Every structure is written in structure tokens, then in C-alpha cells.
Amino acid sequence: MVGKWHLCKDSNLTEAGPRHGWPCQKGFDRFYGILDGFTNFHQPHRLYEDNHVVQVDQYPDDYYFTDDLTDRALDMVRQVRSGHPRKPWFLYFSHGATHAPLQVRAADAEKYRGDYADGWDVVRQRRFERQQELGVIPEGAVLPPRNTEPHHAVEAWDDLTDMEREVFARYQEVYAGMVDNVDQNFGRLRAELEAMGEWDNTIVVFTSDNGGSREGQERGTSSYFRTLLAHTQGSSPFDDIEVDHARLDLIGGPQTLPHYPMGWAMVSGTPFRLYKINTHQGGHQVPCIVSKGSGMVEGGGLRTQYQHVTDLLPTVLDLVGVDLPTTRHGQPLPSPAGSSFTTSLADSDTPSTHPEQYYEQAGHRGFYRDGWSAVTCHGRREAFSNDTWELHHLAEDPTESRDVAAEHPEKLAELREAWEQAAWDNQVFPLDEGSGATYIQRPPWEAVLAEPATFLPGTPTVERFRSVQFINFRSFTVDVALAYAAGDEGILVAHGDQGGGYSMYVEDGHLFFAYNGYGVMTVVDGGPLADGTSSV
């Protein structure tokens, strides 16, 4: 496996482990990538290889994470084939792109300079028309109005200021460059497999985990952490468009951690409503491309049957002729939640093998059954009883443009009852009410990670989660024992990265303190240092 894992508890990411949630303990022979949810694409904060942390003092100037992952993926496949001419292999390639921060090689972003100046309303309409032209959505489907739900509303592009339009268009240019780079790297992977004679015997499933992300809020940001803090912990956003505009030339590079505004997330979800985390179609209806090399499926066809991510495992096993395991270490395994859709791959007219599915995320809920969908958008810190349930007949209205709850109250009641039963059956309760409290609550056994600590020279970089515990929601003191002689220079302590943090260092005989306030730098000159030992 290569890429983003993001399936471990934060407190388990250190060198001390435990490692039971790491990829190599979950069935993979090899791993290279990140265990966190995201990282800096130019200078990743922490890379892991197999069961150890990769110690990196400095990245090359031309380093880019997506390129690195592809290099490692190719190397792993080559190693398997060099050791055995016909042994089957499975590669799980979980891209960090296009998750925030939106960072890109400059040349890739430059390809899209000016392409989004018309704004999200115009671009969304163009995409909708192109989707209809390609047959991705049926004739008669309706493009819903711009998102207007509370906390999810998108402002009309024409109502923005010139400065806002300039900054917001740049965010999308960078995003497009990231997508372009993923495409380039998939092309590299395919070309190598073709050269090895592997492509015609390889099944490829290319898909996404969710719809466009609204984490950039209404105005986007050049500093993801400052906006993410407001979003996850329920505080008011404090984005400053003038600060972002002043950093316009840095957007996409290693010194900024950008995220686009909700308007571009809405475009990513065309033709659907809402975003990642929501249980409307825009949150979870994503493309899925399946390629089977040796003519098992005729290329270029479209399939519209409803399927879910849990169907991928049984489908792939079905394609390769392997039965689902029923036991592990002598213990019975639970039955898988999904069903193979190989019949749909072969015949576009066969019915779906996944007739119903429940959804829940951050209090948003939904239930699909046989072409009907009941869905609700939960208001943050509001009673669940206040939520309004919508009913949509997706077989006739795939974009959820018409709420038919008043016309079919019995169908809505049926689906709500089905959701309730599925929630009890699948440990969905208790629901997250959306206050953000779940992001800051920590179990008592993690308290030891926040105790005072001493770090001697040569200590490896402290893992991200533990380093946060020393300062998060608390006052703190850092004491440095210093032995200085004229001409000495260097870092005494550095805590954080380009997104925010602080450092204390010696330069030109002076002691300096630098504070990175989510991209706004403040540097204090502490004056000259005297020779000898001191405590700072």
C-alpha cells in the first residue's frame, strides 16, 4: 500500500505505537506514506515506511508527495515481479491529493491560469451541460440552484469583490493542477505496467471517498489550520481576504496551506447538492471507473445501478475467482456488508445488487432503498428533532432537486423507520450533535502525553499529535539550556510548520523568537547573547 492511511487513533502514531492499527498489521506486506489525514505535499511532516518512521532532515527542492508515492508504488510492483514471475499482487494506492492543503507543482497550476475567472456559477453550468452531453446524467435531470442551506450557502460569484474573485480563482487553478498531477502519475503507473506486460492482466478500480470538501468555508483560506480550527471546534471563522491576497503568489507552494471556498466544492459535486460529510448526493455520490484488462468488460460503457463502497471487495474477489474467507485463525468472520456487481459490469440492464443503504455523518442522516432516498441536513448544535427530512425519488430526480415528502408521507415514514433500525443494528448511536466537542475530548490514558518532557540533542522530531498536547488549550513554558560562543548559530526549538507554530533561534549573535500565526509571521529580536551558559 502507498499513500494516506488515516485509520489509526492519533495517540497511536508515535514511534512508541501501539502499531496494531498500522497498515502492515492490517494485512499489507509493505507500506509507504502517511498515517495522518493530510500533509504538506512539498515537505510532508512525517512519512512512514512499513513499520517505522522515515527520518528526513530536508526534502529536495523539487520534491512532491504524489510523485514520490508513484515512485514507491512502481518500486513495490517491480520487487514482486523480480521475485516471482507470476505471483498475483494487490496495490492499494490511496492518494493524498486532492485533500487539503491544495499544493502543486508550479507548472501544473500554470496550465490552468485564467480557466476559472468566470466563476463557480458559470463553471458549474458548463459541467452540467457536459455531463448531459456525455450521458453521465440522464436527459431531463435538473441542475439544482446554488446551495442555500444554513451554514452551507454559496454566494453568487457576481456578488464577490474583485479581490475575492482573484483569490478564489487562484485556489481552483491550484486544485486543478493537483488533479492534473494525479492523472500524470496514473499515466506513469499504467505505462510501466504495460512495459512489464502486466496491464492486460490487471483490474483497476479508480474512485473517490467523498464529494467536494466545504472545509474552506465561504471564503477559502491560504492557511488551512486556521479555518479547520473554526470548522471542527465550532468557533467563528477568522479568515482575512486581504491576508490571503497578499500571499497570492505563494498559494500552491510549500509556505501556504490553502483550501478553496465552498463554491468550488459545489462545482466538484456537480450536478448534486451539498458537500463532503453531508448525506445528500453531493456528499457521497462519486465516480467509479473499473477497468479489466483482457476484454472482460467492453470499454467506454456507463453503468447507473446503485452500488456502495462495501461492494468493491466481493466484486474484485468475484473477478479474480477467489471465495470470500469465512474464518480467520479458526474464528468465524462476519458476513460482508456488500455484494458483487460483476453482473452490472457485464450488462448495463441488470438490477442493482445493493438495494438499500443507510448513511450518517456528523448528525446528517440518510437512507436509500430501491431508487428512493430520505435525507436530512443536521444543524450544528440543534436538536435532532428540529431536522427536516426530505424525500427524493432518485430514479426520476437523480439530483435531489424536488422534495416530494408531502406527496408521499408513507414512503418517507418507511425510510425513516428503516434508517432507525439500521442505525441500531450498526452501532450508529449516539449521534454527533455537531458541536465539535468530539474533536477535543480525549480519553484519560492520553494525559501522560501532555506531561512535561525533556528533549536532549539527537532526539527525533516529536510526532504531531504528542507535540500538540504540550500547548493545546493551555499556557506553556519552554526552557532551553544554552552554551553559546561567538559565531554559533542555529535552531534552539521549533514547534509547528508552515501552517502555524513558533521557533527560537540564534542568528548573527542575537536570540530571536518567531511566531507563525497561521501564516502571518511575527519575529522578535531578543538582543545579543553573551558568551557562556545560560537558560532561555
Per-residue pLDDT of 339-358, as tens digits, reads 999 999 989 999 999 999 99
CA distance 308 to 337: 10
Amino acid at 57: D
Q: What is the largest CA-CA distance in the chain?
A: 83
Q: Residues 6 or more apart from 242 whose CB is under 8 A from it? A: 163
Same domain for 364 and 231, yes or no, is no
Same domain, 401 and 445: no
Query: What is the percent of the chain with per-residue pLDDT over 70, rounded to a whole number?
Result: 97
Evaluate whether residue 413 is within a structural domain: yes
- pLDDT value, residue 434: 75
234 has a pLDDT exceeding 60:
no
Residue from 86, 317, 322, 347 nearest 201 by CA? 86
> In which band, very low, low, confident or very high, does the pLDDT at 187 lie, cut at 50, 70 and 90?
very high
C-alpha span between 213 and 221 (Å, rounded): 13
Q: What is the pLDDT of residue 249?
A: 95
Q: Is residue 525 part of a domain?
A: yes
Share above pLDDT 90 across residues of the chain, in percent, rounded to a whole number? 84
Residues 157 and 281 in one domain: yes
Lowest mean pLDDT among 48-52, 205-209, 238-242, 391-395: 238-242
Clarify whether residues 236 and 372 are in a common domain: no
Do 359 and 265 share a structural domain?
no
Over the stretch 441-499, which tens digit does the pLDDT of each residue have? 788 988 899 999 999 988 999 999 999 999 988 899 999 999 999 999 999 999 999 88
Domains identified in the chain, total number: 3
pLDDT digits (tens, 9 = 90+) for 73-113: 999 999 999 999 999 999 999 999 999 999 999 999 999 99
Confidence (pLDDT) at 519: 83
Fill in the DSSP letter of residue 248.
G
Question: Is 237's pLDDT higher than 70?
Answer: no
Residue 367 counted as domain residue: yes
Q: Look at residue 349 and tell me if it is in a domain.
A: no
Q: Where are the beta strands (DSSP E) in 288-406?
A: 288-292, 327-328, 331-332, 356-361, 364-369, 372-376, 389-393
Is 485 inside any structural domain?
yes
Instruction: Report, as an integer, the average pLDDT of 125-151.
Output: 94
Query: Looking at residue 312, what is its pLDDT?
Result: 96
pLDDT confidence of residue 238: 57
Same domain, 215 and 142: yes
Q: Which residues contact 65 (CB under 8 A, 6 or more apart)?
A: 39, 40, 41, 42, 44, 96, 97
Which of residues 437, 463, 481 is at a domain's end? 437
The answer to whether 180 and 108 are in contact (CB under 8 A) is: yes
d(CA 505, CA 491): 4
Residue 93 within any structural domain of the chain: yes
Average pLDDT, the chain: 93
Confidence of residue 136 (pLDDT cuts 50, 70, 90): very high
CA distances from 213 to 241, 259, 311, 440 (A): 20, 9, 24, 21
CB burial class (10 A; 0-12, 13-18, 19+) of residue 192? middle
479 vs 379, more confident:
479
* Domain housing 492: 438-535
Tell me what the mean pLDDT of segment 233-246 comes to.
73
**447 and 431 together in one domain:** no
**pLDDT for res 22:** 98
Residues 265 and 291 in one domain: yes
* Per-residue pLDDT tens digits for 274-331: 999 999 999 999 999 999 876 566 677 899 999 999 999 999 999 999 998 899 899 9
203 within 8 A of 285, measured Cβ to Cβ = no
Cell of 510: 542575537
Q: What does the pLDDT look like over 193-233, one tens digit per residue?
A: 999 999 999 999 999 999 999 999 999 999 988 887 766 65
Domain boundary among 437, 455, 480: 437
* CA–CA distance, 331 with 216 (Å, rounded to integer): 45
Mean pLDDT of all residues in 373-393: 93
| pLDDT for 400 | 97
By the 10 Å C-beta count (0-12 exposed, 13-18 middle, 19+ buried), 492 is classed as middle
Distance CA 378, CA 365 (A): 8
